[in-house]
Chains A and B, each alone.
Chain A
Amino acid sequence: MGLSRRDFLKTAVGGGIMLASNLTPAPAAAREPKARLPEAVGILYDATLCIGCKACMTACKEFNHLPPDHSHPGSLWDDPVDLSAKTYNIVKLYKQGTGKHKDQEVDGYSFIRRFCMHCVDPACTSACPVSALTKDPTTGVVRYNKDVCIGCRYCQIACPFNIPKFQWDTAFPQIKKCQLCDHRLIRGGYAACCEFCPNGASLFGPVQELRKEAQRRLALPPGSTAAFPLHRVDSGEFLYKTVARYQSYVYGEKDGGGSQVIILAGVPYTHLGLPTLPDESGASSSETLMHTLYKGMIGPYVLLGGLFYLVYTNTSKKDLP
Chain B
Amino acid sequence: MAETSTPLGGKIVTKPFMVLAALAAMAGLLIIYRYLYGLGAVTNLSDGYPWGIWITYDVLVGTALGCGGYAMAVLVYIFNRWEYHPLVRSAVLTSVFGYTLAAVAIFLDIGRYWNGYNLFLPWHVNFNSVLVEVALCIAAYVLVLWLELTPTVLEGHPQSAKAQTNRDRLERWLPIIVALGILLPTMHQSSLGTLMIIAGHKLSPLWQTQLLPLFFLLSAIIMGYAVTVFESLLSSLAFRRPFETPLLARISGVMAWLVGLYLVLRFGDLAFRGELSLIFQGNLNSLMFLLENYLFLQALLILMSPGRRAHLRWLFVAAGCLLLAGSLYRFNAFLIGYNPGPGWSYFPALPEILITLGIVALELMGYLYFVKRYPVLPQVEHA
Residues of A within 8 A of B (CB): 1-3, 7-8, 11-12, 15, 19, 22-23, 25, 82-85, 123, 125-131, 146-154, 156-158, 160, 162, 165-174, 256, 273, 275-278, 282-283, 285-287, 289-291, 293-294, 300, 303-304, 307-308, 310-312, 314-315, 317-321
Q: How far is the CB of A80 from chain B (nearest CB, A)?
A: 12
Q: How many angstroms from the CA of A22 to the CA of B217 in the assembled complex?
A: 12
Chain B residues closer than 8 Å to A12, beta-carbon distance:
79
Q: Which of B81, B112, B133 contacts A151 (CB 8 A)?
A: B112
A148 near B183: Cβ-Cβ < 8 Å: no
- Can you sample 21 A-B contacts with CB below 8 Å? A1-B83, A15-B78, A125-B126, A128-B129, A130-B125, A151-B113, A152-B131, A156-B47, A166-B47, A277-B200, A282-B198, A283-B128, A289-B197, A290-B194, A303-B183, A311-B77, A311-B179, A315-B174, A320-B3, A320-B82, A320-B83
- Given A153-B50, A285-B197, the answer on whether A129 and B125 have CB atoms closer than 8 Å is yes
Which of A147, A154, A165, A293 contacts B213, CB < 8 Å? A293
Closest A-B pairs by Cβ, 8 of them? A151-B111, A168-B40, A151-B112, A153-B50, A286-B198, A156-B50, A307-B179, A308-B179
Bound Cα distance A252, B46 (Å): 26
A130 touches B126 (CB 8 A): yes
Question: Are A149 and B83 within 8 A (Cβ)?
Answer: no
Distance in angstroms from B272 CB to nearest chain A CB is: 13
User: Are the CB atoms of B182 and A150 closer together than 8 Å?
Assistant: no
Collect the chain A residues with CB atoms within 8 Å of residue B190's CB: 23, 293
The answer to whether B383 has its CB under 8 Å from any CB of chain A is no
Closest to B341 in A: A162
| Chain B residues whose C-beta falls within 8 Å of the C-beta of A173 in the assembled complex | 38-39, 111-112
Q: Say if the beta carbon of B238 comes within 8 Å of chain A.
A: no
Q: Mark B26-50, 1 if CB is under 8 A from A, else 0.
A: 0000000001111111000111101
Q: How many residues of B contact A (CB 8 A)?
A: 71
B118 proximal to A (CB < 8 A):
yes
B332 to chain A, nearest CB (A): 15
Q: B22 on the interface (CB 8 Å rule)?
A: no
CA distance A170 to B46 in the complex (A): 13
Q: Would you call A314 and B80 a contact (CB within 8 A)?
A: yes
Nearest CB to that of B171 among chain A residues? A315
B214: Cβ under 8 A from any A Cβ: yes
Inter-chain CA distance A23–B210, complex, in Å, is: 10
- A311 contacts B183, CB within 8 Å? no
Enumerate chain B residues within 8 angstroms of A169, measured Cβ to Cβ: 37-38, 40-41
Residues in A neighbouring B83, C-beta threshold 8 A: 1, 320-321
A290 CB contacts on chain B under 8 angstroms? 128, 130, 133, 191, 194
Do A130 and B119 form a contact, CB below 8 Å, given A153-B51, A169-B40?
A: yes
**Which residues of A lie under 8 Å from residue B82 when comparing CB positions?**
318-321
- Say yes or no: A168 contacts B183, CB within 8 Å: no
Which B135-180 residues have a C-beta within 8 angstroms of A?
135, 174-176, 178-180
Q: Which residues of A contact B186 (CB under 8 A)?
A: 19, 22, 303
Residue of B nearest to A275 (CB): B201
Partner of A166, one of B3, B111, B124: B111
Whether B38 pairs with A171 at a CB distance below 8 angstroms is yes
B221 to chain A, nearest CB (A): 11
Which applies to chain B's interface (DSSP): helix, strand, loop or mixed? Answer: helix
Residue of B nearest to A153 (CB): B50
| Alpha-carbon distance A115/B115, docked complex (angstroms) | 27
Q: A171-B35, A293-B190 are in contact. Are A307 and B78 (CB under 8 A)?
A: yes
Bound complex: CA A170 to CA B36 (Å): 8
Q: Which residues of B contact A167 (CB under 8 A)?
A: 38, 111
Whether A310 contacts B39 by the Cβ 8 Å rule is no
Q: For B125, B135, B179, which residue has the most chain A Cβ atoms within 10 angstroms? A: B179
What residues on B are CB-neighbors of A19 within 8 Å? 186
The residue from B81, B135, B182, B199 contacting A307, defined by CB atoms under 8 A apart: B182
Let me know if B35 and A315 touch, CB within 8 A. Answer: no
Interface bits B78-102 vs A (CB < 8 Å: 1, else 0): 1111110100000000000000000
B110 interface hit (Cβ, 8 Å): yes
Q: Which residues of A contact B51 (CB under 8 A)?
A: 153, 157
- CB-contact partner of A160 in B1, B130, B200, under 8 A: B200
Contacts of A275 in B (CB 8 A): 201, 341
* Complex contacts, B85 vs chain A, CB 8 Å: 320
In whole angstroms, what is the CA distance A287 to B129 when docked? 8
Can you name the residue of chain B whose Cβ is closest to the Cβ of A284? B198
Q: Please indicate the chain A residues that have their CB under 8 angstroms from the CB of B353 in the complex.
A: none
The reply to whether A3 and B128 form a contact with Cβ atoms under 8 Å apart is no
Query: Does B343 belong to the interface (CB within 8 Å)?
Result: yes
Q: At the interface, yes or no: B268 with Cβ under 8 Å from chain A?
A: no
Most chain B CB atoms below 10 A, which of A2, A126, A152, A273: A152
| Residue among A15, A126, A146, A285 making CB contact with B128, cutoff 8 Å | A126
Question: Roughly how many angstroms separate A319 CA and B83 CA in the complex, as a whole number?
Answer: 8
**Complex Cα distance A154/B78, Å?**
35
A168 and B112 within 8 A (CB): no
Interchain CB contact under 8 A, B124 and A131: yes
Chain A residues with CB below 8 A from B78, complex form:
11, 15, 307, 310-311, 314
Residues of B close to A321: CB separation below 8 A: 1, 82-83
Residues on the A chain within 8 Å of B217, using CB:
23
Knowing A152-B131, A290-B133, A303-B186 are in contact, say whether A130-B118 is a contact too (CB < 8 A).
Answer: yes
Residues of A within 8 A of B130 (CB): 127, 286, 290
